[in-house]
Structure 1
Amino acid sequence: MENPWLTALGMMFLLEGIIPFLFPGRWRGIFDRICRLRDGQIRFLGLGAVVVGFALLWLAPL
């Protein structure tokens, strides 16, 4: 693929879809627990995901 943004989006969808495809019951339980978290806790998880994503992009060779 020539477009790196399209490649990244495709990889994101691939990785996001693996867990619900393979383990739908477990995924539903995890999603239910996340829905019961407070907004601040969800924001903290989101911030952690952003930091890890930036770190992986920084470490990945271009």
Structure 2
Amino acid sequence: MTMEWLWAALALVCVIEGLGPLLFPDRWRLYLLKISQQPSNQLRQVGGVFVVIGVVTLYYLSSH
């Protein structure tokens, strides 16, 4: 059962990540250009926030 949820989550990530370049390729390219110019520490902080949000959400969903 756990592996099914993992594969479903990975599939959902692929769908969500693919929507930007599929629907708005020019805006997506500009967004990536802006992101690539950000300092590494700022990118780490944003990544850390997303990881914490994801872990907390998974914990919440698994306990209900």
TM-score (normalised: structure 2) = 0.81
Return 5+ residue gaps in structure 2 as ranges: none
Q: Distance in 2 between matches of 1:4 and 1:60?
A: 11
Is the helix fraction higher in 1 or 2?
Answer: 2
CA deviations 1:6-51 (Å, max 9, x no partner) are: 1111011011101111111111111001100111011011011112
Runs of 4+ in 1 over 2 A off after TM superposition: 58-62
Identity across aligned pairs (percent)?
A: 31
Letter in 2 for 1:4: W
Corresponding residue pairs, total: 62
RMSD: 1.9
- Aligned residue in 1 for 2:40: 39
